[in-house]
Amino acid sequence: MAIEAKKNSNDTIVAISTPLGEGGIGIVRLSGSESFPLVRKIFECHKSNEPDYPKPRYLYYGTVKDQNGEIIDEALVSFMPAPHTYTREDLVEINCHSGIINLRAVLKILLAMDIRLAEPGEFTKRAFLNGRIDLSQAEAVIGLIRARSEEATKASLRTLQGMLAKTVNDIRDRIIEVRAPIEAEIDYPEEFMDELPTIAATQIELLAIKDKLETLLQGVTRNRAYQEGVAVAIIGKPNVGKSSLLNRLLGDQKAIVHELPGTTRDLLEGSLMLGGYPLRLIDTAGIQGSDDPVEVEGIKRARSVAAEAQLILLVIDGSLPFDPDIVKMISPISGEQRLIVIINKSDLPQIVTADQVKKQFGEVTAVSVSVLKGSGIPLLEKAVADGLDQHFGELSDSPILITFRQEEILTEALLGIRQAERALLSEPAEITSLLLQQVWLTLGQITGDTAGDDLLDRVFSQFCLGK
Ligand SMILES: Nc1nc2c(ncn2[C@@H]2O[C@H](COP(=O)(O)OP(=O)(O)OP(=O)(O)O)[C@@H](O)[C@H]2O)c(=O)[nH]1
Ligand SMILES: [Mg+2]
């Protein structure tokens, strides 16, 4: 779909594409028709007199010099002619030593010539504008750069390979197929009378489309968990071993552990990876009735953390009689939250039984551990990973959504299909057709097929400089 926004500005751009700081290599990257001649002006290489210089995709060793012929840096330079490049334009990469001063100096000499500094994400934007990738793939590049777990990386790579675009395009094709006979009926009601699909057949088609959209949307929460992490609150009465559990799971003595109840006053957080999920583990103050204003504030914070956590680890001391009040302590747990009950101190004679816990909490996962001795911890870790897998739904091979933007679009498309379903039964055929057309257009924003300037700016402004 050729639209205004896809017109490419073909001036030549430059940016430092690696993070500024001490490192092995720093790369200055140029894209555009002037990039070869410009770099040749500042880069001196003993091969430059050879007739085939610069050969595409060769690495040339030489020096970068300023206007006065003074050496700025040694560099390895590769010249990559269009169209088989990241941007589909002529592209040059100058591999310098990674020092802030020399990299900036190289950039400065180039900027003094006929070239401008790239905007954030402009290299990737050109890849999109020149048709090498679609918008969902461009967003996958951001996802890949920001991924905090292996699973998030895999999800971004799947989208980068074009899986999301393919699924969305398949859905769009199906919408066209559903619309075709409806349109025929509108334009030539007599001629196609016998061949038209029944309302029931169209309903089945719409149901299938809805199903596909819903499956895509299911991936959102899981992916968000991979990207942003899962909040896990450790709560319970004082002295049951909450801080000990935090330390044990982190493999670190982060929290103060003490035999005196009421040791933890404030929230304490640590991060760890479990079952592919980045977890934000939050230790809280033991919940009990108290007159101490500091402890009361700590308990208030514990409750609010528990209210927002996706997973609650409720710790109880198995060596003491079961206190039914803890049921009240954790309620109300919303449908969005999962609960795992941890019966701690299994190294001491046990009074609390798993059955007792089940009786109080219903069908809840209960794990018996000794945080002190480390027994039962692998089982607990497995219970946490399994609980999160169940919470976020089956992991399928379908593409996983990366961004809020894509979620918004799919939600809108789903709404549109539901409206079309209703219209099919109660409105003239024109309305159904129009609603389906709108869904088709909406979905096109995922790949950028129907994206305007605003949308492109929104997506590409999230990139870092030089990407
Ligand atoms: N025997 C035994 N003692 C444990 C176990 N886990 C923790 N403890 C002890 O229980 C006491 C309290 O541990 P903490 O981890 O500070 O308990 P807490 O729940 O954070 O307590 P508050 O911060 O006061 O709410 C300490 O003396 C720990 O050594 C365990 O598995 N077995
Ligand atoms: Mg504590």
Within this chain, do residues 9 and 123 fall inside the same structural domain, yes or no?
A: yes
At 255, give phi and psi (nearest 5°). -100, 150
Within this chain, do residues 241 and 377 fall inside the same structural domain, yes or no?
A: yes
Spatial contact of 331 and 357, defined as CB atoms under 8 Å apart: no
Q: In this structure, what CATH number is given to the domain that contains residue 284?
A: 3.40.50.300
Rounded to the nearest whole angstrom, what is the distance from the C-alpha of residue 127 to the centroid of ligand 1?
A: 56
Closest ligand 1 atom number to CA of residue 264 = 23
In terms of residue numbers, what domain contains 57? 4-133
Answer whether residue 373 is part of any domain. Answer: yes
Place of tokens 């905007």: 119
Rounded to the nearest whole angstrom, what is the distance from the C-alpha of residue 236 to the centroid of ligand 2?
A: 10
Number of domains composing the chain: 3
Q: In this structure, what CATH number is given to the domain that contains residue 431?
A: 1.20.120.430
The pLDDT assigned to 396 comes to 57
Q: Kindly state if the Cβ of 349 falls inside 6 Å of ligand 1.
A: no
The pLDDT assigned to 6 comes to 40
Q: Kindly state if the Cβ of 344 falls inside 6 Å of ligand 1.
A: yes
The pLDDT assigned to 379 comes to 96
Answer whether residue 143 is part of any domain. Answer: no
Within this chain, do residues 340 and 356 fall inside the same structural domain, yes or no?
A: yes
Within this chain, do residues 191 and 295 fall inside the same structural domain, yes or no?
A: no
Distance of CA 436 to the CA centre of its chain: 29
Six token digits for residue 187: 């334009």
Answer whether residue 86 is part of any domain. Answer: yes
Within this chain, do residues 246 and 387 fall inside the same structural domain, yes or no?
A: yes
From first to last of its 467 residues, the chain has per-residue pLDDT tens of 333 334 446 799 999 999 888 888 999 999 999 999 999 999 999 999 999 999 999 999 999 999 899 999 999 999 999 999 999 999 999 999 988 888 999 999 999 998 999 998 999 999 999 999 999 999 988 888 887 777 778 888 888 888 889 999 999 999 999 998 888 877 776 666 666 677 888 999 999 999 999 888 877 777 778 777 899 999 999 999 999 999 999 998 888 899 888 888 889 999 999 988 889 999 998 888 777 888 778 888 888 888 889 999 999 999 999 888 787 776 667 767 889 999 999 999 999 988 888 888 888 899 999 999 999 999 999 999 999 888 877 655 555 666 888 999 999 999 999 999 999 999 988 999 999 999 999 999 999 988 788 888 888 888 878 78
Of 82, 107, 133, the residue that ends a domain is: 133
Within this chain, do residues 205 and 327 fall inside the same structural domain, yes or no?
A: no
Closest ligand 1 atom number to CA of residue 370 = 31
The pLDDT assigned to 154 comes to 83
Within this chain, do residues 362 and 425 fall inside the same structural domain, yes or no?
A: no
Burial class (CB in 10 A: 0-12, 13-18, 19+), 70: exposed
Answer whether residue 220 is part of any domain. Answer: yes
Q: In this structure, what CATH number is given to the domain that contains residue 116?
A: 3.30.1360.120
Six token digits for residue 52: 């085939």
Within this chain, do residues 187 and 280 fall inside the same structural domain, yes or no?
A: no
Within this chain, do residues 307 and 356 fall inside the same structural domain, yes or no?
A: yes
Rounded to the nearest whole angstrom, what is the distance from the C-alpha of residue 359 to the centroid of ligand 2?
A: 27
